[in-house]
Protein backbone atom coordinates (compact mmCIF):
# COMPACT_ATOMS: atom_id res chain seq x y z
CA UNK A 1 0.00 0.00 0.00
CA UNK A 2 1.18 3.52 -0.84
CA UNK A 3 1.71 6.01 2.03
CA UNK A 4 0.86 8.97 -0.21
CA UNK A 5 -1.89 11.41 0.58
CA UNK A 6 -3.81 11.70 -2.67
CA UNK A 7 -5.80 14.61 -3.99
CA UNK A 8 -8.43 12.21 -5.35
CA UNK A 9 -9.37 8.58 -4.71
CA UNK A 10 -11.56 6.94 -7.35
CA UNK A 11 -13.51 3.92 -6.09
CA UNK A 12 -14.23 1.43 -8.87
CA UNK A 13 -12.18 0.32 -11.85
CA UNK A 14 -14.83 0.01 -14.53
CA UNK A 15 -14.77 2.07 -17.71
CA UNK A 16 -16.17 5.13 -15.90
CA UNK A 17 -13.66 4.86 -13.06
CA UNK A 18 -10.77 4.51 -15.52
CA UNK A 19 -11.96 7.51 -17.54
CA UNK A 20 -12.38 9.62 -14.38
CA UNK A 21 -8.91 8.59 -13.15
CA UNK A 22 -7.43 9.64 -16.50
CA UNK A 23 -9.22 13.00 -16.54
CA UNK A 24 -8.20 13.96 -13.02
CA UNK A 25 -4.61 12.82 -13.51
CA UNK A 26 -4.26 14.84 -16.72
CA UNK A 27 -5.76 17.77 -14.79
CA UNK A 28 -2.67 17.71 -12.61
CA UNK A 29 -3.98 15.98 -9.48
CA UNK A 30 -2.42 13.10 -7.52
CA UNK A 31 -4.89 10.26 -7.98
CA UNK A 32 -5.44 6.67 -6.95
CA UNK A 33 -7.98 4.12 -8.16
CA UNK A 34 -9.17 1.42 -5.74
CA UNK A 35 -10.76 -1.66 -7.35
CA UNK A 36 -12.37 -4.46 -5.36
CA UNK A 37 -11.64 -7.10 -8.01
CA UNK A 38 -8.32 -8.56 -9.12
CA UNK A 39 -8.33 -6.49 -12.30
CA UNK A 40 -10.00 -3.46 -13.85
CA UNK A 41 -13.31 -4.18 -15.62
CA UNK A 42 -14.07 -6.95 -13.12
CA UNK A 43 -17.68 -5.77 -12.75
CA UNK A 44 -20.33 -4.25 -15.01
CA UNK A 45 -17.92 -3.00 -17.68
CA UNK A 46 -16.66 -6.41 -18.76
CA UNK A 47 -19.92 -7.37 -20.49
CA UNK A 48 -21.40 -4.81 -22.88
CA UNK A 49 -22.33 -4.30 -26.52
CA UNK A 50 -19.30 -2.12 -27.43
CA UNK A 51 -21.37 0.39 -29.41
CA UNK A 52 -20.22 4.00 -29.63
CA UNK A 53 -23.52 5.86 -29.42
CA UNK A 54 -24.39 9.23 -30.92
CA UNK A 55 -27.00 9.92 -28.24
CA UNK A 56 -29.74 10.14 -30.86
CA UNK A 57 -32.26 8.37 -28.63
CA UNK A 58 -31.23 9.70 -25.20
CA UNK A 59 -33.82 11.69 -23.23
CA UNK A 60 -33.44 15.28 -24.52
CA UNK A 61 -31.90 17.58 -21.95
CA UNK A 62 -30.79 14.73 -19.69
CA UNK A 63 -27.37 14.39 -18.14
CA UNK A 64 -27.04 11.06 -19.95
CA UNK A 65 -27.58 12.81 -23.28
CA UNK A 66 -24.94 15.43 -22.49
CA UNK A 67 -22.35 12.87 -21.34
CA UNK A 68 -22.96 10.46 -24.23
CA UNK A 69 -22.43 13.19 -26.81
CA UNK A 70 -19.40 14.64 -25.03
CA UNK A 71 -17.94 11.15 -24.59
CA UNK A 72 -18.46 10.22 -28.23
CA UNK A 73 -16.86 13.48 -29.33
CA UNK A 74 -13.77 12.98 -27.18
CA UNK A 75 -13.37 9.34 -28.24
CA UNK A 76 -13.34 10.46 -31.86
CA UNK A 77 -10.70 13.07 -30.98
CA UNK A 78 -8.30 10.80 -29.08
CA UNK A 79 -8.80 7.24 -30.34
CA UNK A 80 -6.01 7.39 -32.91
CA UNK A 81 -3.48 8.68 -30.36
CA UNK A 82 -4.36 5.74 -28.10
CA UNK A 83 -4.48 3.25 -31.03
CA UNK A 84 -8.13 2.44 -30.37
CA UNK A 85 -10.29 1.05 -33.19
CA UNK A 86 -13.42 2.61 -34.64
CA UNK A 87 -15.79 1.02 -37.17
CA UNK A 88 -18.30 3.49 -38.57
CA UNK A 89 -21.03 1.02 -39.38
CA UNK A 90 -24.23 3.10 -39.06
CA UNK A 91 -27.31 1.73 -37.32
CA UNK A 92 -30.81 0.92 -38.44
CA UNK A 93 -33.79 1.13 -36.09
CA UNK A 94 -36.14 -1.40 -37.67
CA UNK A 95 -39.90 -1.44 -37.13
CA UNK A 96 -41.56 -4.85 -37.36
CA UNK A 97 -45.15 -3.90 -36.46
CA UNK A 98 -47.51 -1.12 -37.52
CA UNK A 99 -47.34 0.36 -34.03
CA UNK A 100 -43.55 0.48 -34.18
CA UNK A 101 -43.70 1.98 -37.67
CA UNK A 102 -45.92 4.81 -36.41
CA UNK A 103 -43.28 5.66 -33.80
CA UNK A 104 -40.45 6.12 -36.33
CA UNK A 105 -41.14 9.84 -36.97
CA UNK A 106 -40.92 10.40 -33.21
CA UNK A 107 -37.50 8.72 -33.15
CA UNK A 108 -36.30 11.03 -35.92
CA UNK A 109 -37.74 14.07 -34.15
CA UNK A 110 -36.02 13.14 -30.87
CA UNK A 111 -32.71 12.62 -32.68
CA UNK A 112 -32.95 16.09 -34.24
CA UNK A 113 -33.78 17.62 -30.85
CA UNK A 114 -30.64 15.89 -29.56
CA UNK A 115 -28.56 17.55 -32.25
CA UNK A 116 -28.09 14.41 -34.38
CA UNK A 117 -29.32 15.98 -37.59
CA UNK A 118 -28.37 13.23 -40.06
CA UNK A 119 -30.89 10.72 -38.66
CA UNK A 120 -33.61 10.03 -41.25
CA UNK A 121 -36.48 7.66 -41.91
CA UNK A 122 -35.74 5.56 -44.98
CA UNK A 123 -37.86 3.65 -47.44
CA UNK A 124 -38.15 -0.13 -47.41
CA UNK A 125 -36.18 -0.40 -50.67
CA UNK A 126 -33.30 1.48 -49.04
CA UNK A 127 -33.48 -0.72 -45.93
CA UNK A 128 -33.32 -3.97 -47.89
CA UNK A 129 -30.71 -2.51 -50.22
CA UNK A 130 -28.47 -1.97 -47.21
CA UNK A 131 -29.29 -5.22 -45.42
CA UNK A 132 -29.96 -7.89 -48.01
CA UNK A 133 -30.10 -10.67 -45.39
CA UNK A 134 -32.69 -8.97 -43.20
CA UNK A 135 -35.87 -10.95 -42.61
CA UNK A 136 -38.86 -10.15 -44.76
CA UNK A 137 -41.72 -8.28 -43.13
CA UNK A 138 -40.08 -5.10 -41.88
CA UNK A 139 -42.40 -2.09 -41.99
CA UNK A 140 -39.75 0.62 -42.12
CA UNK A 141 -36.57 1.91 -40.53
CA UNK A 142 -34.64 4.88 -39.28
CA UNK A 143 -31.03 5.30 -40.41
CA UNK A 144 -28.51 6.57 -37.84
CA UNK A 145 -25.29 7.13 -39.84
CA UNK A 146 -23.11 8.10 -36.87
CA UNK A 147 -23.43 4.94 -34.76
CA UNK A 148 -20.18 2.93 -34.61
CA UNK A 149 -18.64 0.05 -32.72
CA UNK A 150 -15.36 -0.08 -30.83
CA UNK A 151 -13.22 -2.32 -28.63
CA UNK A 152 -14.98 -2.44 -25.23
CA UNK A 153 -11.89 -3.50 -23.28
CA UNK A 154 -8.94 -1.71 -24.88
CA UNK A 155 -10.57 1.71 -24.40
CA UNK A 156 -10.70 1.64 -20.57
CA UNK A 157 -7.32 -0.08 -20.51
CA UNK A 158 -5.88 2.82 -22.53
CA UNK A 159 -7.45 5.33 -20.14
CA UNK A 160 -5.93 3.51 -17.17
CA UNK A 161 -2.53 3.24 -18.89
CA UNK A 162 -2.46 6.95 -19.63
CA UNK A 163 -3.34 7.76 -16.03
CA UNK A 164 -0.55 5.49 -14.75
CA UNK A 165 1.99 6.93 -17.18
CA UNK A 166 1.18 10.42 -15.93
CA UNK A 167 1.53 9.64 -12.24
CA UNK A 168 -1.62 7.88 -11.00
CA UNK A 169 -1.69 4.68 -8.93
CA UNK A 170 -4.05 1.71 -9.26
CA UNK A 171 -4.61 -0.89 -6.57
CA UNK A 172 -6.63 -4.06 -7.23
CA UNK A 173 -8.11 -6.32 -4.51
CA UNK A 174 -8.72 -3.09 -2.61
CA UNK A 175 -12.41 -3.03 -1.75
CA UNK A 176 -13.22 0.08 0.27
CA UNK A 177 -14.90 -1.37 3.35
CA UNK A 178 -15.31 1.80 5.38
CA UNK A 179 -14.17 5.39 5.50
CA UNK A 180 -13.73 8.33 7.84
CA UNK A 181 -13.86 12.00 6.94
CA UNK A 182 -11.90 14.31 9.21
CA UNK A 183 -10.23 17.71 8.85
CA UNK A 184 -10.93 17.87 5.13
CA UNK A 185 -9.52 14.42 4.26
CA UNK A 186 -10.85 10.92 3.82
CA UNK A 187 -9.31 7.80 5.31
CA UNK A 188 -10.39 4.75 3.31
CA UNK A 189 -9.93 1.30 4.81
CA UNK A 190 -9.27 -1.62 2.43
CA UNK A 191 -7.95 -5.18 2.88
CA UNK A 192 -4.57 -3.87 1.76
CA UNK A 193 -4.49 -1.03 4.27
CA UNK A 194 -5.36 2.63 4.64
CA UNK A 195 -5.55 5.22 1.85
CA UNK A 196 -5.85 8.96 2.41
CA UNK A 197 -7.36 11.41 -0.06
CA UNK A 198 -8.77 14.91 -0.15
CA UNK A 199 -11.72 13.93 -2.35
CA UNK A 200 -13.46 10.61 -3.01
CA UNK A 201 -15.24 9.86 -6.29
CA UNK A 202 -17.69 6.96 -6.08
CA UNK A 203 -17.62 5.06 -9.41
CA UNK A 204 -18.48 1.70 -7.84
CA UNK A 205 -21.03 0.55 -10.42
CA UNK A 206 -23.24 -2.23 -9.08
CA UNK A 207 -21.99 -1.48 -5.57
CA UNK A 208 -22.54 2.26 -5.90
CA UNK A 209 -25.26 2.57 -3.24
CA UNK A 210 -23.25 0.47 -0.78
CA UNK A 211 -20.17 2.65 -1.27
CA UNK A 212 -22.36 5.77 -1.10
CA UNK A 213 -23.41 4.76 2.41
CA UNK A 214 -19.82 5.31 3.56
CA UNK A 215 -20.50 9.04 3.15
CA UNK A 216 -24.27 9.41 3.55
CA UNK A 217 -27.53 7.48 3.21
CA UNK A 218 -27.81 6.67 -0.48
CA UNK A 219 -30.50 8.54 -2.38
CA UNK A 220 -30.61 5.75 -4.96
CA UNK A 221 -30.75 1.97 -4.93
CA UNK A 222 -28.91 -0.20 -7.41
CA UNK A 223 -30.95 -3.04 -8.89
CA UNK A 224 -28.62 -4.79 -11.33
CA UNK A 225 -30.14 -5.36 -14.76
CA UNK A 226 -28.70 -8.44 -16.41
CA UNK A 227 -28.15 -8.63 -20.14
CA UNK A 228 -27.39 -11.97 -21.78
CA UNK A 229 -25.67 -12.26 -25.17
CA UNK A 230 -25.01 -14.88 -27.86
CA UNK A 231 -21.84 -14.81 -29.96
CA UNK A 232 -21.81 -16.25 -33.49
CA UNK A 233 -18.63 -17.38 -35.23
CA UNK A 234 -16.75 -15.10 -37.64
CA UNK A 235 -18.35 -16.24 -40.94
CA UNK A 236 -21.67 -14.83 -39.70
CA UNK A 237 -20.26 -11.31 -39.97
CA UNK A 238 -20.94 -11.35 -43.72
CA UNK A 239 -24.69 -11.39 -42.99
CA UNK A 240 -25.00 -7.75 -41.95
CA UNK A 241 -23.47 -4.35 -42.48
CA UNK A 242 -25.13 -2.09 -39.91
CA UNK A 243 -26.03 -2.34 -36.26
CA UNK A 244 -29.63 -3.59 -36.24
CA UNK A 245 -31.59 -1.90 -33.45
CA UNK A 246 -35.19 -2.51 -32.38
CA UNK A 247 -37.65 0.26 -31.64
CA UNK A 248 -36.83 0.85 -27.95
CA UNK A 249 -39.20 0.69 -25.01
CA UNK A 250 -39.13 2.93 -21.95
CA UNK A 251 -37.31 0.21 -19.99
CA UNK A 252 -34.75 -1.07 -22.46
CA UNK A 253 -33.14 -0.46 -25.83
CA UNK A 254 -34.04 -4.08 -26.66
CA UNK A 255 -32.25 -6.90 -28.45
CA UNK A 256 -29.61 -5.74 -30.94
CA UNK A 257 -27.81 -7.66 -33.70
CA UNK A 258 -24.34 -6.30 -34.33
CA UNK A 259 -20.84 -7.10 -35.47
CA UNK A 260 -17.82 -6.70 -33.20
CA UNK A 261 -14.32 -5.41 -33.88
CA UNK A 262 -13.20 -9.00 -33.24
CA UNK A 263 -14.99 -10.17 -36.38
CA UNK A 264 -17.97 -11.89 -34.77
CA UNK A 265 -21.72 -11.28 -34.56
CA UNK A 266 -23.52 -10.77 -31.25
CA UNK A 267 -27.22 -10.91 -30.40
CA UNK A 268 -28.41 -9.28 -27.18
CA UNK A 269 -28.89 -8.08 -24.55
CA UNK A 270 -31.84 -9.22 -22.52
CA UNK A 271 -33.03 -7.00 -19.65
CA UNK A 272 -33.59 -8.87 -16.38
CA UNK A 273 -33.66 -7.14 -13.00
CA UNK A 274 -32.08 -9.11 -10.17
CA UNK A 275 -30.85 -8.62 -6.62
CA UNK A 276 -27.47 -10.35 -6.93
CA UNK A 277 -24.76 -7.78 -7.71
CA UNK A 278 -22.11 -10.22 -8.93
CA UNK A 279 -23.74 -13.25 -10.57
CA UNK A 280 -23.87 -12.63 -14.31
CA UNK A 281 -24.99 -16.09 -15.38
CA UNK A 282 -26.64 -17.23 -18.58
CA UNK A 283 -29.80 -19.32 -18.67
CA UNK A 284 -30.92 -21.87 -21.23
CA UNK A 285 -34.38 -20.38 -21.74
CA UNK A 286 -33.12 -16.85 -22.33
CA UNK A 287 -30.40 -18.08 -24.70
CA UNK A 288 -33.00 -20.04 -26.69
CA UNK A 289 -35.17 -16.92 -26.84
CA UNK A 290 -32.20 -14.82 -27.98
CA UNK A 291 -31.34 -17.35 -30.67
CA UNK A 292 -34.92 -17.29 -31.95
CA UNK A 293 -35.00 -13.49 -31.84
CA UNK A 294 -31.71 -13.10 -33.69
CA UNK A 295 -32.72 -15.56 -36.38
CA UNK A 296 -36.09 -13.87 -36.79
CA UNK A 297 -34.17 -10.69 -37.68
CA UNK A 298 -31.35 -12.28 -39.73
CA UNK A 299 -32.58 -15.76 -40.80
CA UNK A 300 -29.13 -16.68 -42.11
CA UNK A 301 -27.81 -16.86 -38.54
CA UNK A 302 -29.50 -20.25 -38.25
CA UNK A 303 -26.79 -21.76 -40.46
CA UNK A 304 -23.93 -20.38 -38.34
CA UNK A 305 -22.56 -21.68 -35.09
CA UNK A 306 -22.88 -20.04 -31.71
CA UNK A 307 -19.42 -20.20 -30.14
CA UNK A 308 -19.91 -18.32 -26.86
CA UNK A 309 -22.40 -16.77 -24.48
CA UNK A 310 -21.90 -14.11 -21.85
CA UNK A 311 -23.82 -11.81 -19.55
CA UNK A 312 -23.28 -8.39 -18.06
CA UNK A 313 -24.92 -6.47 -15.21
CA UNK A 314 -25.89 -2.83 -15.70
CA UNK A 315 -26.13 -0.73 -12.50
CA UNK A 316 -29.72 0.46 -12.93
CA UNK A 317 -31.42 2.63 -10.30
CA UNK A 318 -35.01 3.75 -9.75
CA UNK A 319 -34.22 6.88 -11.75
CA UNK A 320 -34.16 7.30 -15.54
CA UNK A 321 -31.05 9.50 -15.57
CA UNK A 322 -27.48 9.23 -14.31
CA UNK A 323 -27.00 10.05 -10.63
CA UNK A 324 -24.02 12.42 -10.47
CA UNK A 325 -23.52 15.13 -7.86
CA UNK A 326 -20.95 16.63 -5.50
CA UNK A 327 -21.08 16.91 -1.71
CA UNK A 328 -18.97 20.01 -1.16
CA UNK A 329 -18.97 19.76 2.64
CA UNK A 330 -17.67 16.20 2.79
CA UNK A 331 -15.48 16.22 -0.33
CA UNK A 332 -17.38 13.43 -2.09
CA UNK A 333 -18.56 13.07 -5.69
CA UNK A 334 -21.17 10.48 -6.64
CA UNK A 335 -21.16 8.88 -10.11
CA UNK A 336 -23.92 6.25 -10.21
CA UNK A 337 -26.70 4.75 -12.28
CA UNK A 338 -24.51 4.56 -15.39
CA UNK A 339 -26.21 1.92 -17.49
CA UNK A 340 -25.76 0.62 -21.02
CA UNK A 341 -24.41 3.88 -22.43
CA UNK A 342 -21.48 3.97 -19.99
CA UNK A 343 -18.80 2.92 -22.47
CA UNK A 344 -19.63 5.82 -24.79
CA UNK A 345 -20.41 8.29 -22.02
CA UNK A 346 -17.39 7.55 -19.81
CA UNK A 347 -15.16 10.31 -21.21
CA UNK A 348 -18.08 12.76 -21.10
CA UNK A 349 -18.87 11.73 -17.53
CA UNK A 350 -15.24 12.34 -16.58
CA UNK A 351 -15.40 15.81 -18.13
CA UNK A 352 -18.62 16.59 -16.23
CA UNK A 353 -17.19 15.35 -12.93
CA UNK A 354 -14.04 17.39 -13.49
CA UNK A 355 -16.20 20.51 -13.89
CA UNK A 356 -18.07 19.66 -10.67
CA UNK A 357 -14.76 19.34 -8.83
CA UNK A 358 -13.48 22.66 -10.13
CA UNK A 359 -16.75 24.40 -9.30
CA UNK A 360 -17.15 23.05 -5.76
CA UNK A 361 -13.98 21.44 -4.45
CA UNK A 362 -10.66 22.60 -5.81
CA UNK A 363 -8.41 24.01 -8.51
CA UNK A 364 -6.88 22.20 -11.45
CA UNK A 365 -3.40 22.47 -12.93
CA UNK A 366 -3.51 20.52 -16.21
CA UNK A 367 -0.37 18.73 -17.41
CA UNK A 368 1.11 20.70 -20.33
CA UNK A 369 2.40 17.72 -22.30
CA UNK A 370 0.86 14.49 -21.07
CA UNK A 371 2.33 11.11 -21.97
CA UNK A 372 0.19 9.20 -24.49
CA UNK A 373 -0.02 5.42 -24.18
CA UNK A 374 -1.24 3.62 -27.31
CA UNK A 375 -2.41 0.09 -26.59
CA UNK A 376 -1.95 -3.00 -28.79
CA UNK A 377 -4.56 -3.45 -31.50
CA UNK A 378 -6.99 -6.36 -31.07
CA UNK A 379 -9.41 -5.40 -33.84
CA UNK A 380 -9.83 -7.72 -36.79
CA UNK A 381 -10.02 -5.01 -39.46
CA UNK A 382 -6.59 -3.57 -38.61
CA UNK A 383 -3.10 -5.16 -38.68
CA UNK A 384 -2.63 -7.64 -35.84
CA UNK A 385 0.56 -8.78 -34.10
CA UNK A 386 0.53 -12.23 -35.73
CA UNK A 387 0.84 -10.62 -39.17
CA UNK A 388 4.23 -9.10 -38.41
CA UNK A 389 7.38 -10.84 -39.72
CA UNK A 390 8.72 -11.41 -36.20
CA UNK A 391 5.38 -12.56 -34.75
CA UNK A 392 6.77 -15.78 -33.31
CA UNK A 393 4.75 -18.66 -31.88
CA UNK A 394 0.95 -18.67 -32.05
CA UNK A 395 -0.60 -19.79 -28.76
CA UNK A 396 -4.31 -19.27 -29.47
CA UNK A 397 -5.04 -20.39 -33.04
CA UNK A 398 -8.73 -19.43 -33.08
CA UNK A 399 -8.01 -15.79 -32.26
CA UNK A 400 -4.44 -15.74 -33.65
CA UNK A 401 -2.80 -14.62 -30.40
CA UNK A 402 0.97 -14.88 -30.16
CA UNK A 403 3.11 -15.82 -27.20
CA UNK A 404 4.75 -12.40 -27.41
CA UNK A 405 1.38 -10.64 -27.10
CA UNK A 406 0.65 -12.57 -23.95
CA UNK A 407 4.11 -11.96 -22.51
CA UNK A 408 3.80 -8.26 -23.27
CA UNK A 409 0.41 -8.11 -21.53
CA UNK A 410 1.71 -9.95 -18.47
CA UNK A 411 4.61 -7.51 -18.12
CA UNK A 412 2.75 -4.33 -19.15
CA UNK A 413 2.16 -1.09 -17.28
CA UNK A 414 -1.04 -2.61 -15.85
CA UNK A 415 -0.69 -6.40 -16.03
CA UNK A 416 -3.84 -8.52 -15.80
CA UNK A 417 -4.85 -9.56 -12.32
CA UNK A 418 -6.82 -12.64 -13.35
CA UNK A 419 -7.45 -14.84 -16.36
CA UNK A 420 -10.37 -12.68 -17.47
CA UNK A 421 -8.05 -9.69 -17.58
CA UNK A 422 -5.56 -11.61 -19.72
CA UNK A 423 -8.35 -12.56 -22.13
CA UNK A 424 -9.52 -8.94 -22.40
CA UNK A 425 -5.97 -7.76 -23.17
CA UNK A 426 -5.17 -10.36 -25.84
CA UNK A 427 -8.36 -12.23 -26.98
CA UNK A 428 -6.78 -15.55 -25.94
CA UNK A 429 -9.25 -18.47 -25.45
CA UNK A 430 -12.16 -16.34 -26.76
CA UNK A 431 -12.53 -18.01 -30.14
CA UNK A 432 -14.27 -21.03 -31.59
CA UNK A 433 -12.76 -23.61 -29.24
CA UNK A 434 -13.15 -21.41 -26.12
CA UNK A 435 -9.74 -22.45 -24.84
CA UNK A 436 -10.15 -26.21 -25.42
CA UNK A 437 -6.87 -26.45 -27.36
CA UNK A 438 -4.87 -23.52 -26.00
CA UNK A 439 -6.17 -23.21 -22.44
CA UNK A 440 -3.42 -25.34 -20.92
CA UNK A 441 -0.63 -23.41 -22.62
CA UNK A 442 -2.24 -20.09 -21.67
CA UNK A 443 -2.44 -21.24 -18.05
CA UNK A 444 1.22 -22.26 -18.14
CA UNK A 445 2.29 -18.85 -19.45
CA UNK A 446 0.23 -17.08 -16.78
CA UNK A 447 1.23 -19.36 -13.91
CA UNK A 448 2.41 -17.41 -10.86
CA UNK A 449 1.81 -14.06 -12.56
CA UNK A 450 -1.84 -13.36 -11.71
CA UNK A 451 -3.38 -12.13 -8.47
CA UNK A 452 -6.29 -14.55 -8.88
CA UNK A 453 -5.16 -17.31 -11.28
CA UNK A 454 -8.35 -19.34 -10.96
CA UNK A 455 -10.64 -16.67 -12.46
From the centroid of its chain, how far is CA 288? 25
The pLDDT, as a whole number, for residue 12 is 98
353/24 Cα distance (integer angstroms) = 9
174/378 Cα distance (integer angstroms) = 29
The pLDDT, as a whole number, for residue 254 is 82
Burial class (CB in 10 A: 0-12, 13-18, 19+), 403: middle
Domains and CATH numbers, the chain: 5-48+153-221+319-360 (3.50.50.60), 87-148+223-314 (3.30.9.10), 385-446 (1.10.10)
Beta-strand (E) ranges in 150-293?
169-171, 178-182, 185-190, 193-202, 225-232, 243-246, 256-259, 265-268, 272-273
pLDDT tens digits, residue range 168-211?
A: 999 999 999 999 999 899 999 999 999 999 999 999 999 999 99
For residue 228, what are the β-bridge partners? Answer: 311
The pLDDT, as a whole number, for residue 455 is 43
Calculate the dihedral angle through the C-alpha atoms of 120, 270, 379, 158, rounding to the nearest 10 degrees: 100
The pLDDT, as a whole number, for residue 77 is 98
419/182 Cα distance (integer angstroms) = 39
- Model pTM? 0.96
2/100 Cα distance (integer angstroms) = 56
Tell me which residues of the chain have a pLDDT lower than 50.
1-2, 454-455
Per DSSP, helices labelled H in 304-431 are 342-360, 403-410, 419-426
The pLDDT, as a whole number, for residue 378 is 97
Amino acid sequence: MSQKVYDVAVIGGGVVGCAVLRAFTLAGLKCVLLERGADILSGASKGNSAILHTGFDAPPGSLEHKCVQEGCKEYLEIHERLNLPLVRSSALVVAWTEEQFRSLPDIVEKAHKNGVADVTQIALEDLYGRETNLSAGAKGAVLVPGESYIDPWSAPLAYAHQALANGADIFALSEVQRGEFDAGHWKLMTPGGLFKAGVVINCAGNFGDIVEAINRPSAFRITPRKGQFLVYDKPAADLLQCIILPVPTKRTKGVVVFRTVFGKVVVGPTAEDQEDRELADVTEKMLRDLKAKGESIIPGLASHEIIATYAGLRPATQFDDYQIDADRDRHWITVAGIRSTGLTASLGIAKHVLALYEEKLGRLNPIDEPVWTPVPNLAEHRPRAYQKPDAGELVCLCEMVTRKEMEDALSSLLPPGDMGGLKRRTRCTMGRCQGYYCGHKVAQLAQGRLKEPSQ
